[in-house]
Amino acid sequence: MQRNLIKGSALKNIIVFSLPFLFSNFLQTFYGMADLFIVGQYNGAASLTGVSVGSQVMHMLTVMIVGLAMGATVMIGRYVGENKEEEKRTVIGNTIVIFMIVSILLMAVLLLLINPIINIMFTPEEAIQETRLYLIICFVGIPFITAYNVISSIFRGLGDSKSPMCFIAIACFFNIILDFIFIGYLDMHAVGAALGTVFSQAVSVMIALTAIIKKKLIVVNRENFNLRKSVIGRIFKIGFPICIQDGLIQISFIIITVIANSRGVNIAAAVGVVEKIIGFFFLVPSSMLSSISAICAQCIGAGQHKRAVQTLQYGCLIAVSFGILFTVICQFISEPILSLFTNESIVIMYGSQYLKSYAADCIFAAISFSFSGFFTAYGYSVISFMHNLISIILIRIPWAYMASKLYSDNLFPMGLASAFGSLLSAVICIGVYTYLKKRRCFSL
């Protein structure tokens, strides 16, 4: 399923590659939103908050795993561009072994820390039990969640974004069916949402592995599974800064959630629902980040640096255009969007305020995400880590905190925290890119 991304139109390549990636992310986010939608229809604010808080923790873990796996995606893409078959297979084999170990360790540690996590999240007392049960089940399912995302990262490094789309479509289908059974029919509340998520991911992984083995979509030898320090070191050198960066971003969102949770269950539910909606809007910049990384990695391996810059420019243009569209739409239909997830008028009111300002984040994040993908392909992933750390410390957290204190009955000012944080990141990215380009760091 390997595909060459360094031939033909650069614009066509990024569109053809990113669309299945975008649809995959859409499906993954959709079944997360389906959990909230179905829980909101059958249960009250406590269950809704339990699922929103629990799913936010799981989302943070997932994006960190994906960020770490980005190291494998970039290395595989480089070797594809350089036509180094054995090196590519070694990276794939080492990636599989390393992430199996990471997932098991992560599951064990998180199960031990479940109560501190709930306390750190300032989960409203009415939702503590729902949140605990949701997290226990999802933590047990971490190996399946890790397996799916690692398999997807390997395929994307090979230039194939369609196979992961098929795998996640299967997971989405099963998740929605299971949600209606567990939540609607069996009345299992947040537990049903967690079971649906884990079971559907497990089914997706099983089907993916069956397809890989039977159709020989990925071919590796026994020797490729022997761990090599140099390979592992390069995977972590590229992926670890992205992992920490994504973790810090999610921590900043969690801190904002904690601020909201301390203000009562209604505001907590509103913020939780909006975070899910924004997750949907962020599909385009997120997909573009990974698409740019994968395509540019092949371009760099083949020595086509001008094509890598073209890929960045086209990707940024596409993502920003969608960001503007989403922001404008939210100014007019925020309440109807919120009403899809809850019937409680006070939650809709607060959520509408928050969504209208938060939506602008999609515009500025489109810029910073695109540049982050480009920097990562060149091995400068530490830049992405730094600009996000700066924006979190200087803008996101202090702004959200002050807004909650100064505007206790209005979430609109708090939503601006993320938007202006991403604006600062975008400015830093453009400045660093200009500096590195003058020093010819993108033509080595």
pLDDT in tens, 303-313: 888 888 899 99
The tens digit of pLDDT for each residue in 225-253 reads 787 888 888 888 877 877 887 777 777 77
Q: Is 219 helix (H, G, I), strand (E, B) or coil?
A: coil
303 dihedral zone (left: phi>0; alpha: psi -120 to 50; beta): left
| Contact call for residues 96 and 225 (beta carbons, < 8 A) | yes
pLDDT of residue 217: 60
pLDDT of residue 45: 66
- Of the chain, the percentage scoring pLDDT greater than 90 comes to 11
The tens digit of pLDDT for each residue in 350-407 reads 888 889 999 999 999 999 999 998 998 888 888 888 888 899 889 988 998 888 888 8
The tens digit of pLDDT for each residue in 167-187 reads 788 888 888 888 788 877 787
Q: Output DSSP code: residue 183.
A: I
How many Å apart are CA 273 and CA 408, to the nearest integer?
19
pLDDT of residue 249: 75
**CB neighbourhood size of 69 (10 A):** 28
pLDDT of residue 22: 78
Rg over alpha carbons for the chain, rounded to the nearest Å, is: 21
| Contact call for residues 158 and 79 (beta carbons, < 8 A) | no
Find the farthest-apart pair of alpha carbons in the chain and give their distance in angstroms, rounded. 63
| Contact call for residues 356 and 415 (beta carbons, < 8 A) | yes
End-to-end CA distance of the chain: 29
Residue 328 has pLDDT above 90, yes or no: yes
The tens digit of pLDDT for each residue in 263-300 reads 777 777 788 788 778 877 888 888 888 888 888 888 88
Confidence of residue 133 (pLDDT cuts 50, 70, 90): confident
pLDDT of residue 191: 80
Residues 6+ apart with CB under 8 A from 142: 61, 103, 106, 107, 110
How many Å apart are CA 393 and CA 383, to the nearest integer?
16
Phi, psi of 120 (to 5 degrees): -60, -35
At which residue do the structure tokens 């069956």 appear? Answer: 210
Closest listed residue to residue 179, CA positions, set 187, 426, 437, 360? 187
How many Å apart are CA 17 and CA 162, to the nearest integer?
8
How many Å apart are CA 221 and CA 226, to the nearest integer?
10
| Contact call for residues 70 and 149 (beta carbons, < 8 A) | no
Confidence of residue 423 (pLDDT cuts 50, 70, 90): very high
Mean pLDDT of 85-105: 85
How many Cα atoms sit within 13 Å of 34 on the Cβ side?
A: 26
Q: Is 407 helix (H, G, I), strand (E, B) or coil?
A: coil
379 dihedral zone (left: phi>0; alpha: psi -120 to 50; beta): left
Residues 6+ apart with CB under 8 A from 269: 45, 48, 49, 52, 342, 344, 347
Closest listed residue to residue 55, CA positions, set 231, 250, 293, 207? 250
Residue 216 has pLDDT above 60, yes or no: yes
CA dist 231 → 67, 71, 95, 227 (Å): 17, 10, 9, 8
Confidence of residue 431 (pLDDT cuts 50, 70, 90): very high
Helix locations, 187-264, DSSP H: 189-215, 229-261
Q: What is the pTM of this model?
A: 0.76
7 dihedral zone (left: phi>0; alpha: psi -120 to 50; beta): beta
Q: For all residues of the chain together, what is the average pLDDT? A: 82
- Taken in order 30, 69, 142, 256, is the CA torsion positive or negative? negative
The tens digit of pLDDT for each residue in 3-47 reads 556 677 778 878 887 787 777 777 777 766 677 777 776 666 667
How many Å apart are CA 201 and CA 172, to the nearest integer?
9
Q: Helix, strand, coil % (nearest 5) of the chain?
A: 85, 0, 15
